[in-house]
Amino acid sequence: MTATSPVVLVAGGSSGIGAGVVRRLHGDGYRVLATYHRHPERAEALVQALDPDGRRLAFVPSDLADPAGPGALVDEAVERFGRLDGVVHCAATIDTTPLDELTSEAFERVLRTNVTAAFLLLRAAATRTTMSSAVVISSIAATYTGPDSAAYEASKAALSMLTRSLADHYAPRVRINAIAPGAVETERSLAAEGFPRAMLQRRIPLGRLAEPADIAATAAFLLSPDSAYLTGQAITVDGGLSLKLT
C-alpha cells in the first residue's frame, strides 16, 4: 500500500471489538492509528503480529475521558499519516456497581468515556477535509436492560442518538453510523466469572456469540463506498438475539 491509502483512527483498538477492527482494516489495506489505555502489551502484540515495521499501523496511549484527548488524537493521525479518512470509536467502559450504590461520579465517568469522548472525537475529525465516514460502537444495551448496567445502558442509548444528530449535521460530506452488537466473545467476557455463555448460545438464533471479526466486518462495510447511501443508522449485529428479547 502507498502513502495515498486511506487512514482510519480506531479509538480503543488494543482488545475486544477494537482489536478486531484494527485487524480487519489493516488487512483491507488501510493505514491505522489506534489507541490503548490500560494494556500496552496487547497493542504491542498487535503491531508485532500485523505490521512490525510500523508502516501502516501504530498505537498511541490515550485517556479518552480527558477532554483534550480526542482532538490530540486527530492531530496525531494527520501528523503521522498525512490525512484522516475515517474514525471508528470502540473505546468504552462499564460500571456494574449495584444501582443503589452507584455514585454520580462513577455514572459521569462512564458517560465521559462512552459518549462525550465520541462527541469530541467525531467533531474534531469532521474538521478534516478528507474525512468521509465514522462508525461508533453502540450496543443492544441501548434498548434492552440488564442487571447493574444503568450507566452503560444510558451511555449507549445516548450514542445512538448522538450518531443521528451528528450524521444530520455533517451530511453530505461525512457519513456517521453506529453498530449495536449483542453478546461478543472478548477478553472481558472470557474472563468474567459467571458469564452466561451457554444460556446466550441457546437464545441466539444463529447459535453462537459474535466474534470481534463479525463486528469488524460491519465496521469495514460502513467505512467503505459500498455503504455510500447509509448515514445516521444504528445497525444491530447480534445473531438475532434481540428477536428473543422483544
Residue ranges of the domains in the chain? 7-244
pLDDT of residue 38: 82
Residue 237: which of 201, 211, 198 has the closest Cα? 211
Q: What is the pLDDT of residue 147?
A: 80
Taking the C-alpha atoms of residue 105 and residue 42, their distance in angstroms, rounded to an integer, is 29
Q: Which amino acid is at 180?
A: A
pLDDT at position 193 = 66
* pLDDT recorded at residue 65: 80
**Catalytic residue at 229?**
no
> 189-224 pLDDT, tens per residue?
666 666 778 888 999 999 999 999 999 999 999 999
Q: Note the pLDDT of residue 67.
A: 86
- Which of 30, 36, 144, 152 is catalytic? The answer is 152
Whole-angstrom distance, CA of residue 185 vs CA of residue 215? 11
Question: Quick one: pLDDT at residue 197?
Answer: 82
Query: C-alpha angle 8/15/64, rounded to 5°?
Result: 65
List the chain residues with pLDDT less than 70: 1-3, 189-194, 246
Task: Please state which architecture CATH assigns to domain 7-244.
Answer: 3-Layer(aba) Sandwich (3.40)
Using an 8 Å Cβ cutoff, are 209 and 183 in contact?
Answer: yes
Q: Which residues contact 35 (CB under 8 A, 6 or more apart)?
A: 10, 11, 12, 13, 14, 59, 60, 61, 62, 64, 73, 91
